[in-house]
Chains A and B, each alone.
Chain A
Amino acid sequence: MLKVIRDLLRYDGRFRVAFIFLLATFIMSAISYVSPQDPGRTFQVPLDRSPSLQYPFGTNSRGQDVFWWMTFAVRNSLYLGLITAAVSRVIAIFVGLTAGYRGGYVDRILMSVNDSFVVMPVLPLLILLSFLFRGRMGLTGLGVLMGLFGWPWDARLIRSQVLSLKERSFTRTAQYCGAKDFHITIFEHLPFVLPIVFATTINNMIWSIGMEVTLGVLGLSNVTLPTIGTTIYWANAHQAMVAGIWWWLMAPVVVSVVMFLGLYLLSQSVNEYIDPRTRLRRIGA
């Protein structure tokens, strides 16, 4: 693992950028734990100060230090991404492995449902759901909810991976040896599928954090919790742009660009690293 990271750092420019951006993101979310400010309270600092040494990201019209608020926002957005990724991973792995391994009718039905979820515009449904549960849903709830919609792309990918694994001989051997379906799936296929699961996890986080921004902007996520989406929501609610308090919008924009780019470049770089063709070149076959 360490060697992989060292190799990537040395030979992949994208990974270096990803590393720096994600490091910044993690540090940002980590220092929220030592924040002098409680993001739930307002009128803690003078209003509408532009960025300065004392307030690096300025202060907002609610009397909050934007920098400290953003540390919570980053932490919460990451947390949400992880929850969504975890929930949708479980579904995606289950559906992908089952469809791929069982084949036949099971496969056809699962993939038909799967493709329906791929095609369906998720945003209106999520708006509908968050609208109904508005105010009663915490971050975890929202994360789980998005997880329920975030699995189909990856399930398809995992399935296709399993299909190609099935063609290889070791599955056949396992079958002749009388191994149970479940056993084959877990012990023979999962290890090969896991690198892909890792790469898709990152993409899934990007998707869900982005979706939260959208819901937050519409005022549909829990606006008392600091997230990237709710930061923009509050800035809009106070017409920050019109009032000239540009830093209030700039902070979430810059922070999220750093976070999204970091995650995306990481997934690209890892994807290339685990790509069979690259792997062949690397091990020199």
Chain B
Amino acid sequence: MPLLSVKNLHAYYRTEAYGISRTVRAVDDVSFELQKNEIYGIAGESSCGKTTLIKVISGSIKPPLRIEGGTMTYTFDGRDVDIASVAPEVMRREIRWKEISYVMQGSMSILNPVRRVRRIFRHVVDTHQGIDDKRKFEALCRDHLKKLGLPPDILQAYPHQLSGGMKQRIAIALATIFRPSLIIADEPTTALDVVVQRGVLQLLKDIQAESSNTVLLVTHDMAVHANVADRVAIMYAGTIVEEGPTEVIFGAPQHPYTQHLIASLPVIGDKGTRSALPGAPPNLASPPSGCRFHPRCPMAKEICRRVVPSMIQLDTLHRAACHLVGEREEA
């Protein structure tokens, strides 16, 4: 039983200004499953729709973003929940933070600049557990922070007095305080220096190992996926182009875009120059026809321009969407 099953999900931003309307197809026909007790990574370059995908599957959809098709079904304790049709109040009280929690992109600025850190812990705990008693609350927080190796004094601090790494850890501490089934982390290590990054990742890994829940880790940084993820999905221009176990994605990537991403990873001792991908990421308001990667793909063929490649199952856990892969399979 997967924790989450997403099928043919479409989510677009529709905006209008001075008579010019625009549709950004940020998530376009995405399907995947999250298993219990795994770290699932999503990779892809900036503005390919990673954050949008997260917003949709965590049920925080606000205009101009709209779901235009597909299904998303969670299974919490054997109970199926269609996230798109949950009443907002139920969503807010019973699912947020208890089942799905979220380490937002840009965690540097998620803390209210004019209130002490304690306040947000207080609000979150009060909202979801109704713990009003000050001592109980204090004990719960201190306990939780200590377990994560954070000094409890940070509750007393104002955000501007904390370092970036500390704020990121606080975001993780907040997300894990109720041991949710799913923790979504959006770029948790971007904007941190390498040493701090390692600490933050270790923290995430430890928490996952301890409570065997699911972590959905989104980052454009392939090295992070290599170190942390069990399975990785590669996103390009609003679609998933390849998915597989981490070793397979890094060891035998099939999609040309994945191959490019892996090839451009720095390798110790390698002095050769790596080829940069020509061209710019596509504009999601008017994506290329056929395979969205075709204008930049070194192996593009005539058919790529016209026909959208379908997802090909290469192995039980490995699949990719590319005409080349399809031909090879048929042959």
Contacts and interface: CB of A to CB of B under 8 A. Distances in A.
Interface of A: 7-8, 10-12, 273, 278, 281-282, 284
A284 B19 contact: no
Interface centre among A7, A8, A11, A284 (most CB of B within 10 A): A284
Size class of B's contact patch?
under 10
B17 A281 contact: yes
Contacts of B20: 282, 284
A11 B21 CA distance: 12
Contacts, number: 19
A284 B18 contact: no
B24 to A, nearest CB: 9
Contacts of A12: 18
B285 A11 contact: no
Contacts of B15: 281
Interface centre among B15, B17, B22 (most CB of A within 10 A): B17
Nearest to B21: A284
Given A7-B19, A11-B18, A282-B18, 16 more contacts: A7-B18, A8-B18, A10-B18, A10-B19, A11-B19, A12-B18, A273-B18, A278-B17, A281-B15, A281-B17, A281-B22, A282-B17, A282-B20, A284-B20, A284-B22, A284-B285
A12 B18 CA distance: 8
A184 to B, nearest CB: 30
Nearest to A277: B17
A60 B229 CA distance: 86
Nearest to B17: A281
Nearest to A280: B17
Interface string B12-34: 00010111101000000000000
A24 B22 CA distance: 36
19 contacts: A7-B18, A7-B19, A8-B18, A10-B18, A10-B19, A11-B18, A11-B19, A12-B18, A273-B18, A278-B17, A281-B15, A281-B17, A281-B22, A282-B17, A282-B18, A282-B20, A284-B20, A284-B22, A284-B285
A284 B17 CA distance: 9
Contacts of B285: 284
Nearest to B285: A284
A284 B20 CA distance: 8
A271 B271 CA distance: 53
Nearest to B19: A11
Contacts of B19: 7, 10-11
Nearest to B20: A282
Interface centre among A7, A10, A12, A281 (most CB of B within 10 A): A281
Nearest to A284: B22
A7 B15 CA distance: 17
